[in-house]
A and B are shown apart, each in its own frame.
Chain A
């Protein structure tokens, strides 16, 4: 059983894209969740997406209720959290001509999301360990690819330490036979450290796939894994 409670810092960055993706993301976070004082959670939300913001706030309220902490003391309860807004890569109906420009703006905001240290941890004992996220998780929105592409660039130019910004891509449960565009981009570019799908048929059909049908990952190298992150559907008892 992995135990991260004695590490100096555990910093997750979750990308909450559009509504459908965000709801699933929140469920995944809940399934993985273990409240520890050394944890910081940053939610990246596209500006103007109020529903994702509400979902993040609801989750944090649930966390605070489950892990009571001493106010203004980040070393207790379930750690700290914050949200970072970035501009959408492309608005609906926006002419494609101006898309490269808005993508660049989006990417520059992403740099901030990845590198601005959490305010709540700045003056604390292990504050410098919280400088960059350990793990970035996204499940499909284009924003997720932008954030991860930027993270990848920061790493290959050695602008951030090599033992940070691990990237986990989880294809949304809605895709059972084929990958989404974002999924294809992640697979083709190979920038994800862990590429997950949630349906067996998709795992079989994807090049280089290997089954890890349960929840524990063995040695996290680059490959495609099948994970059951959401409900255990066999509980229905059908068939």
Chain B
């Protein structure tokens, strides 16, 4: 691979499987938005349009070549394989840069995009009377999981998403992830959520008491081991200081 080879960068827009979202579709083919994409190195815009697909195809068909600023535009109505479209926005070392998923504020879609670790912009649909979708988008922004994209300011939202990638040292790894592999099933015991099992145990009070006792013992044992470790650490540090004092000369 040549060092100056430019990796592809994709933007994927999904409006969901239930309602239409023409306002969003309208904004992403405006020159302001397409210029923004081109400036950030995006070479493709793929759009899941839902019921407005025919209208969208018509609009993009009549776009002149210069108007797209070098961004290829593809669209379709629905897909049964959301995963592969979203994975095209996941940055993988030597394969592609981290792109951008622009999605409606459905919780299932948001969780899926985050699972693939692709940068995400969430756009609530104002025609739905769903107040909690806007709340969810705000929460995502506050928790730094995604960017809250407001209609009329989507280019800025994509810009913010790319900026975050460029700034944070911890985020640059999003450009060079390993190929996606789904989480294992069953979940490793250490990471398993045990809430339901504890609830079952409440039906057997003796067993519950016994296991709570064991768990508390574990906690005590863990605390004891930690304490011993701390003690040994301070002892070693003390000994090291003494060694230094006894030979004050060469310290390489």
Complex partner residue of B199 from A27, A176, A194, A199, CB under 8 angstroms: A194
Q: How far is the CA of A173 from the CA of B136 in the complex (A)?
A: 9
Do B196 and A137 touch (CB < 8 A)? Answer: yes
Nearest CB in chain B: distance from A206 CB, A:
14
Within 8 A of B (CB), among A1-44: 1-4, 7, 10, 12, 20, 23-24, 27-28, 30-35
Do B107 and A173 touch (CB < 8 A)? Answer: yes
Do A219 and B212 touch (CB < 8 A)? Answer: yes
Do A2 and B197 touch (CB < 8 A)? Answer: yes
Q: How far is the CA of A20 from the CA of B186 in the complex (A)?
A: 23
Q: How far is the CA of A7 from the CA of B136 in the complex (A)?
A: 40
Q: What residue of chain B has the Cβ atom nearest to residue A167's Cβ?
A: B199
Do B203 and A134 touch (CB < 8 A)? Answer: yes
Do A236 and B145 touch (CB < 8 A)? Answer: yes
Q: What residue of chain B has the Cβ atom nearest to residue A14's Cβ?
A: B196
Complex partner residue of B194 from A28, A32, A238, CB under 8 angstroms: A32
Q: What residue of chain A has the Cβ atom nearest to residue B172's Cβ?
A: A237
The A interface, classified by DSSP as helix, strand, loop or mixed, is loop
- Is B115 among interface residues, defined by CB-CB distance under 8 A? yes
- Chain B residues positioned under 8 Å from A105 (CB to CB): none
Most buried by A among B168, B198, B212: B198
Most buried by A among B107, B132, B195: B195
- Is B151 among interface residues, defined by CB-CB distance under 8 A? no
Q: How far is the CA of A172 from the CA of B198 in the complex (A)?
A: 21
Complex partner residue of A1 from B173, B194, B207, CB under 8 angstroms: B194
- Is A85 among interface residues, defined by CB-CB distance under 8 A? no
Q: How far is the CA of A213 from the CA of B203 in the complex (A)?
A: 24
- Chain A residues positioned under 8 Å from B2 (CB to CB): none
Q: What residue of chain B has the Cβ atom nearest to residue A170's Cβ?
A: B195
- Chain B residues positioned under 8 Å from A219 (CB to CB): 212
- Is A168 among interface residues, defined by CB-CB distance under 8 A? yes
Do A173 and B111 touch (CB < 8 A)? Answer: yes
Q: What residue of chain B has the Cβ atom nearest to residue A22's Cβ?
A: B108
Most buried by B among A7, A20, A236: A236
Q: Provided the pairs A4-B200, A24-B107 are in contact, do residues A231 and B115 lie with their beta carbons within 8 angstroms?
A: yes
Within 8 A of A (CB), among B200-235: 200-205, 207, 211-212, 215
- Chain B residues positioned under 8 Å from A151 (CB to CB): none
Complex partner residue of B198 from A20, A174, A217, A231, CB under 8 angstroms: A217
Q: How many A-B residue pairs have CB under 8 A?
A: 147
Complex partner residue of B211 from A2, A28, A238, CB under 8 angstroms: A2
Q: What residue of chain B has the Cβ atom nearest to residue A201's Cβ?
A: B139
Interface residue tally for chain B (C-beta within 8 Å): 44
Complex partner residue of A233 from B132, B145, B194, CB under 8 angstroms: B145
Do A24 and B108 touch (CB < 8 A)? Answer: yes
Size bracket of the A interface: 35 or more
Do B136 and A31 touch (CB < 8 A)? Answer: no
Complex partner residue of A135 from B132, B144, B200, CB under 8 angstroms: B200
Q: How far is the CA of A210 from the CA of B186 in the complex (A)?
A: 29
Nearest CB in chain A: distance from B82 CB, A:
12
Do B132 and A178 touch (CB < 8 A)? Answer: yes
Q: How far is the CA of A28 from the CA of B185 in the complex (A)?
A: 12
Nearest CB in chain B: distance from A151 CB, A:
13
Nearest CB in chain A: distance from B220 CB, A:
15
Q: How far is the CA of A170 from the CA of B207 in the complex (A)?
A: 25
Nearest CB in chain B: distance from A221 CB, A:
9
Q: Provided the pairs A66-B185, A135-B199 are in contact, do residues A215 and B136 lie with their beta carbons within 8 angstroms?
A: no
Q: How far is the CA of A174 from the CA of B122 in the complex (A)?
A: 13
Q: What residue of chain B has the Cβ atom nearest to residue A3's Cβ?
A: B211
Complex partner residue of B200 from A7, A172, A175, A233, CB under 8 angstroms: A7
Do A217 and B203 touch (CB < 8 A)? Answer: no
The 7 residue pairs across chains A and B that have the minimum distance between CB atoms: A239-B144, A174-B107, A238-B144, A176-B139, A2-B197, A215-B193, A177-B135
| 6 A-B pairs in the complex with CB atoms less than 8 angstroms apart | A2-B198, A4-B201, A35-B186, A217-B194, A227-B193, A236-B144
Additional 8 contacts, C-beta under 8 A, given A34-B197, A194-B199, A216-B198: A7-B204, A27-B111, A178-B135, A193-B199, A194-B195, A201-B139, A231-B114, A236-B174
Show the binding face of B for A, using Cβ within 8 Å: 106-108, 111, 114-115, 117, 132-133, 135-136, 138-139, 143-145, 164, 168, 170-171, 173-174, 185-187, 189, 192-205, 207, 211-212, 215
Show the binding face of A for B, using Cβ within 8 Å: 1-4, 7, 10, 12, 20, 23-24, 27-28, 30-35, 62, 66, 134-135, 137, 163-164, 166, 168, 172-178, 180, 193-194, 196, 199, 201, 215-217, 219-220, 227, 229-231, 233, 235-239
